[in-house]
A and B are shown apart, each in its own frame.
Chain A
Amino acid sequence: MLKIDNLHAEVGGTEILKGLSLEIAAGEIHAIMGPNGAGKSTLAYVLGGRDGYEVTGGSATYDGIDLLELAPHERAAAGLFLGFQYPVEIPGVSNVQFLRSALNAQRKVRGEEPLSGAEFLKLAREQASALKMDAEMLKRAVNVGFSGGEKKRNEMVQMGIIDPKLAILDETDSGLDIDALRTVGEGINTIMRQPDKAVLLITHYQRLLDVVKPDFVHVLAGGRIVKTGGANLALQLESEGYEAIAEAA
Chain B
Amino acid sequence: MTETRALPTRRDEAWRYADLDALAPVWPNIAGQREEIAVAAGEAVSRQIILESGDPNVAVKTLAVTIGKNARFALHCLAIAADYGRISVEATLEEGAHFELGGAILGTGDQTLEIVTDIRHAEPGGTSNQIVRSVLGGKATGSYLGKVGVARDAQKTDASQSVKAMLLDRTATANAKPELEIFADDVKCAHGATVGELDKAALFYMASRGIPPVEARRLMLQAFIADAFVSLDDDSVREEIEAKALAELEAIT
Contact = CB atoms under 8 A, between A and B. Distances in A.
A72 B220 contact: no
Interface stretch (A61-69, A80-88, A171-179, A204-212): A80-88
A184 B212 CA distance: 28
B220 A90 contact: yes
B179 interface: no
Interface string B128-160: 000000000000000000000000000000000
Interface in A50-93: 50-51, 71-73, 75-77, 81-82, 84, 87-93
A60 B220 CA distance: 31
Interface of A: 48-51, 71-73, 75-77, 81-82, 84, 87-93, 97-99, 101-103, 105-106, 109, 141, 158, 162
B209 A51 contact: no
B212 A73 contact: yes
B226 A88 contact: no
B205 A71 contact: no
13 contacts: A49-B207, A51-B204, A73-B207, A73-B212, A84-B205, A88-B204, A88-B205, A93-B219, A93-B223, A97-B219, A98-B211, A102-B211, A141-B223
A160 to B, nearest CB: 13
Contact of A92 (B204, B211, B227): B227
Contact of B209 (A49, A71, A91, A102): A102
B218 to A, nearest CB: 9
B215 interface: yes
B223 A73 contact: no
Given A51-B204, A90-B220, A93-B219, A106 B199 contact: no
B208 interface: yes
Counting chain B CB atoms within 10 Å of each CB, which of A51, A82, A88, A103 scores highest?
A88
Contacts of A75: 208
A90 B205 contact: yes
State which size class the interface on B falls in: 20 to 34
B210 interface: yes
Nearest to A143: B205
Interface string B85-127: 0000000000000000000000000000000000000000000
Nearest to B205: A88
B11 interface: no
Contacts of B202: 88-90
A93 to B, nearest CB: 5
Contact of B212 (A93, A98, A105): A105
Interface string B190-218: 00000000011110111111111101100
Contact of A158 (B199, B209, B223, B227): B209
Counting chain A CB atoms within 10 Å of each CB, which of B199, B207, B209, B216 scores highest?
B209
The 9 closest A-B pairs by CB, nearest first: A92-B223, A76-B210, A72-B207, A102-B209, A88-B205, A106-B210, A73-B207, A82-B208, A102-B210
B27 interface: no
B161 to A, nearest CB: 19
Nearest to B200: A51
B209 A76 contact: yes
Contacts of A106: 210
Contact of B210 (A77, A88, A90, A91): A77
A93 B221 CA distance: 10
Contacts of B210: 73, 76-77, 102-103, 105-106, 109, 162
A137 B222 CA distance: 21
A50 B206 CA distance: 11
Contacts of B222: 92
Contacts of B216: 73
B15 interface: no
